[in-house]
A = this chain, B = another copy of it.
Amino acid sequence: MSRIIAHYRLRCPAAEVQARARAIAVEQSVEMPLEGIRAARVLAEIVGEVRAIEPLGEEQFRVSIGLASETVGGDPAQLLNMLFGNVSLLDWVTLEDATLPDELLAAFAGPRHGIAGLRARVGAPRRALACSALKPQGLPPAELADLAQELALGGLDYLKDDHGLADQAYSPFARRVPAIAHAVARASQLSGQPTAYVPSLSGSLDVMRQQVRIAREEGLTTLLIAPLTAGVATLAQLSSEHPEMAFLAHPSLGGAARLAPPLLFGRLFRLFGADATIFPNHGGRFGYSATTCRAVAQAARAPWAAVRPCLPVPAGGMTRARVTEMLEFYGPDCMLLIGGNLLAAAEGPRAAAAAFVAGLRAYRFQAASATLPAEPLP
């Protein structure tokens, strides 16, 4: 039977690493003393196996554990559970990466549209994409619609709701989304650049379904979801029942567990159906390193069995001044997301959005240097 290989980083004395590695292998599989297991099949095929232990520095080790693929049962939440459910409660363990066998990958649909689909929606087959965020929460629908129109007139490719825009009494989804969709459609006609408005889904799966229906009635084709607050199975379910819709994943709550960002925001969100994945870029409001960000982008878009590539969306305090540097770093297969910096610009959101878009479009990628190495994911 095939095995997932989960790679953990352990912080512990060298004398304890063997025992701790075995403890994790048990914790993340049968979760009971092996002497209590009489079934030979369970001992041979289900109990986790320590595959490798490598020192990484003082009292730091990389431990690779083989976990039975068949324990996942094709469920995204159960995959998270098997990879990191109980050991998330141990403060000396982080989940660094996971190698998923093809048979397991085949149980998940991955992005339905991916990078190519997101480009096609806005008629931009090659260049990087420009995105902004609609905020602040607290505004009534008409004011959000006015602001959306201004931003869209700047020629953005995508305009997403702030993830704080939910279904609040002062701005209910059912009134807000049609108002903004109309405003953005109007702006797209005027600017000649199709801007795709991306509303944020919230609530239970049922509530999200109603929200998807409203979005579809407005002709929208891309939606924002935060898989960790919504539940990862909720993303997979919506993606499965609305194959015409593309999904942009938000990292909300993603740092609460010690789960490596490239694995969570790149690989797992991609596997569960995210067509694009937002993550904090280095040098912004969050402390991610350039190395981490490069790894997130690599995990999101590198070749990976039959799983379509997912568009990396670096964000979190980005500014127009950083457009060139970000394009150099990420290459053309990315979407830059600049929110507050446009909204607070002295020249107003429309002019700021236009300057952002102009900077992005003017950039010429160096053929050889701009893209990340596209090594397939293991």
Contact = CB atoms under 8 A, between A and B. Distances in A.
Interface string A211-235: 0000000000000001011111110
B231 A230 contact: yes
B252 A86 contact: yes
30 contacts: A29-B137, A29-B164, A31-B133, A31-B162, A31-B164, A31-B339, A32-B339, A36-B340, A42-B136, A46-B137, A47-B138, A70-B169, A71-B166, A72-B168, A75-B167, A80-B229, A84-B256, A85-B226, A85-B253, A88-B255, A89-B256, A89-B288, A91-B255, A91-B256, A204-B231, A204-B236, A205-B233, A205-B234, A229-B233, A234-B234
Interface stretch (A117-125, A188-196, A279-287, A355-363): A279-287
A57 interface: no
A339 B33 CA distance: 10
A318 to B, nearest CB: 12
Contacts of A205: 204-206, 231, 233-234, 237
Given A39-B139, A81-B253, A136-B32, A286 B204 contact: no
Number of copies: 2
Contact of A203 (B46, B77, B228, B341): B77
Nearest to A237: B204
A343 interface: yes
Interface string A286-320: 11100000000000000000000000000010000
A166 B77 CA distance: 10
A163 interface: yes
